Structures are given as structure tokens and as C-alpha cells.
């Protein structure tokens, strides 16, 4: 929330991935690696919020797998049995709350228009 660009998590902000190659398939001999540009950040090392919003998701969670928990000074997330904590200042929490409210209003308007048209999410009448 403090910026608009974040370090790529797949390459750890290096821009390259180390791919292990061993022609013999024998792990005991020595490890050989080649560097390939990270396919997620395309070697740029950083991802912007807009890039993250437009990329395909890795997983879609059901409500029973995911529980967001706002707490004083942090935002916690219970995800498939693990608990994550993200420290946040009051300003960062205000920005997050405003963004969530804006998206909720957009979603509500979309749902009203969809319901007025008589269609469901799949675009079928009904």
C-alpha cells in the first residue's frame, strides 16, 4: 500500500530465474544452472499495481478458504489454514478502506445494471 510498484515474488526481485540443468540427470555430480528472464515480471524485477490487477490469477478462493481480518496496526489474512500478517499504518488502512469502498460501489452498480437487464453473470437471460 505504500507504493505503486512491488518486488516480484517469483524471482525475488532479481529479474531472472535460475533453472537447474544437468544433462546426466544425476543430482550428486554438480549442479548446473542457466539464467532465464522471469516470466512473471518479464525481467523488470518490479510489478506495478496495474500489472497485478490485469494478470491472470493463480487461484480463486472460496469464502471458506479465505478470511480477511483488519486489526490495529495490521491486516491479517487467514488462508487455507495459514495466518498472514501485513503491518500497516493508519494512512495505509484508510487508503485500503477507500479503495475497497470504491470497488464495492462499482460492483453494486454493475449488479444493479445486470439485474435490470435480466441477465446473470454468464450473460444468459434469466
Measure the CA–CA gap between 80 and 76, rounded to whole angstroms: 13
Rounded to an integer, the average pLDDT of 75-91 is 91
Rounded to an integer, the average pLDDT of 79-95 is 91
**How far is residue 46 CA from its own chain's centroid?**
13
Same domain, 34 and 78: no
What is the residue-averaged pLDDT of the chain? 83
Model pLDDT, residue 1: 40
- Answer yes or no: is 126 within a domain: no
Same domain, 76 and 25: no
| pTM of the predicted model over 0.75 | no
Render pLDDT for 40-59 as a digit per residue (tens, 0 to 9): 888 888 988 888 888 888 88
Q: In the chain, how many H helices and how many E strands?
A: 2, 7
Q: For the chain, how many structural domains are there in total?
A: 2
Same domain, 35 and 83: no
Render pLDDT for 14-39 as a digit per residue (tens, 0 to 9): 888 877 776 665 555 556 777 888 88
pLDDT band at 110 (very low <50, low <70, confident <90, very high): very high
Rounded to an integer, the average pLDDT of 115-124 is 67
Measure the CA–CA gap between 103 and 45, rounded to whole angstroms: 28
Same domain, 50 and 72: no
CB atoms within 10 A of CB 88: 19
Amino acid at each position: 500500500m505504500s507504493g505503486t510498484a512491488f518486488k516480484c515474488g517469483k524471482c525475488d526481485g532479481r529479474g531472472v530465474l535460475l533453472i537447474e540443468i544437468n544433462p546426466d540427470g544425476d543430482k550428486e555430480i554438480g549442479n548446473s544452472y542457466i539464467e532465464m528472464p522471469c516470466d512473471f515480471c518479464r525481467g523488470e524485477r518490479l510489478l506495478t499495481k496495474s500489472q497485478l490487477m490485469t494478470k491472470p490469477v493463480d487461484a480463486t478462493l472460496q469464502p471458506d478458504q479465505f478470511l480477511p481480518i483488519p486489526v490495529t496496526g495490521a491486516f491479517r489474512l487467514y488462508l487455507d489454514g495459514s495466518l498472514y500478517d501485513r503491518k500497516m499504518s493508519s494512512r495505509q488502512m484508510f487508503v485500503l478502506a477507500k479503495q475497497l469502498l470504491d470497488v464495492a460501489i462499482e460492483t453494486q452498480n454493475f449488479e444493479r445494471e445486470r439485474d435490470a437487464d435480466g441477465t446473470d453473470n454468464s450473460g444468459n437471460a434469466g
